[in-house]
Amino acid sequence: MLLPTALNFSQGACADGETVCNAVMDATGNQTLANAADVFIGKPLAVLLLVLGGFVVRWLLHRLVDRLVAQAEEGTLPSRVSRMAFSKEGNQSTRAADALAQARRVQRAKTLGSLLKSIVTGIVVAIVGTMVLSEVGVNIAPIIASAGIVGVALGFGAQSLVKDFLSGIFMILEDQFGVGDIINVGEATGTVEAVTLRVTRLRSLDGTVWYVPNGQILRVGNLSQNWSRAVIDVGVAYDSDIDQAVDVLTLIGTELWEDEAWRELLIEQPEVTGVEGLGADSIDLRLMAKTAPLQNWKVARELRRRIKARFDAEGIEIPFAQRVVWHRQEGSDDGPATADGDEAAV
């Protein structure tokens, strides 16, 4: 039994690590008194120091977690870029959206911080508890062996689960995406409906719900962070005046930029980059507009509508695919009797 062994003051000489026992033995020369001092002073003092050390380590690790949470609350990217952010008069909807995103980020970071603190506390308590048991004379070899066996079993049996949890922790910590964002994770693309430490739930445009384990997300494209861009390629006929077409596209972009109804959706004035390609049927011109997050599709639809109306008014042709069709008369032996050269739209 532990108690009789601990109270057996007539046991052998002090060991090298028994500081109190050795100190009393050197001072008094009495082995029994030295052993008693080690039991009543040395071991409780060692246990107290282990517990205090555990509290200090736990406090330091919690401070580290708090710093990580603070970084996660700020996010890896700044708030949504807006040209109104530099003016004194802010748009109420823009400020509300930014405040909602910030609140969501803070809540997610605090949840992650609470989880990490619980994990840290459990690990510290387990280590300090094992050291205390060893200090009071309990054989901890079976405990360590059992922990090793359990760790190996978990390592083999729950590899994917552990991978999912670790990936989820880092995704939340780095603020890669959140609820409401539109992301592309490879085979699945859609709006994020839920993010947990193990799985991410997406809903695609056609309503399909995708459940993607976090450990299987090798790369993710977030369409909602910071800003988006509408890219429109417009084809014009080869006999069109390219300079005129470019001027018209520039005018359309300027009008949209100055339109109050579209002011808050645009971050920069739309830009015409020029000729982007020479196709079989048309010359491709490109118009780009930097927009607020997820507003690029709405802006692109409006730009296409204005381009069609203005090109019709200016007489600029948007060509369609054309092919030359040759008609062969039946009964002819020496090649095509007629070649109409009729052009038909395909």
What does pLDDT average to in each consecutive run of 10 residues of the chain (346 residues)?
44 58 62 60 73 89 83 60 45 56 68 78 86 78 76 71 83 81 89 86 91 90 87 91 93 92 89 89 92 90 94 87 72 51 43
For 72: left if phi > 0, alpha if psi spans -120 to 50, otherwise beta; the answer is alpha
Q: What's the farthest any 2 CA atoms get from each other in the chain?
A: 132
CA 6 to chain centre: 56
DSSP for 232-288 reads: EEEEE-TTS-HHHHHHHHHHHHHHHHH-GGGGGGBSS--EEEEEEEE-SS-EEEEEE
pLDDT at 246: 93
Q: Give the contacts of 327 (CB within 8 A, at least 6 positions apart).
A: 336, 338, 339, 340, 342
Q: Are 53 and 128 in contact (CB under 8 A)?
A: yes
Q: Give the contacts of 122 (CB within 8 A, at least 6 positions apart).
A: none
pLDDT at 242: 92
pLDDT at 305: 95
Rounded to 10 degrees, the C-alpha dihedral 301/305/307/311 comes to 160
Q: Are 215 and 160 in contact (CB under 8 A)?
A: yes
Q: Give the contacts of 21 (CB within 8 A, at least 6 positions apart).
A: 14, 15, 34, 35, 37, 38, 42
- pTM comes to 0.57
Q: How far apart are the first and last CA of the chain?
A: 96
Q: Give the contacts of 284 (CB within 8 A, at least 6 positions apart).
A: 233, 234, 235, 275, 276, 277, 278
DSSP state at residue 196: -
pLDDT at 3: 40
Give the whole-angstrom CA distance, residue 203 versus residue 193.
7
* 135 C-beta neighbours (distance < 10 Å), count: 17
Amino acid at position 276, single letter:
E
For 3, half-sphere exposure in the C-beta direction (CA atoms, 13 angstrom radius) is: 0
Secondary structure of residue 209 in the 3-state scheme: strand
C-alpha distances in Å from residue 121, one per residue of 32, 58, 165: 40, 6, 18
Give the whole-angstrom CA distance, residue 105 versus residue 79.
11
Residue whose token pair is 């052993």 = 35
* 233 C-beta neighbours (distance < 10 Å), count: 13
Question: Phi, psi (5° rounding) for residue 136?
Answer: -85, 5
Give the whole-angstrom CA distance, residue 245 versus residue 270.
15
Secondary structure of residue 213 in the 3-state scheme: strand
Closest CA to 43 of 9, 76, 73: 9
Tokens describing residue 36? 């008693």
DSSP state at residue 315: T
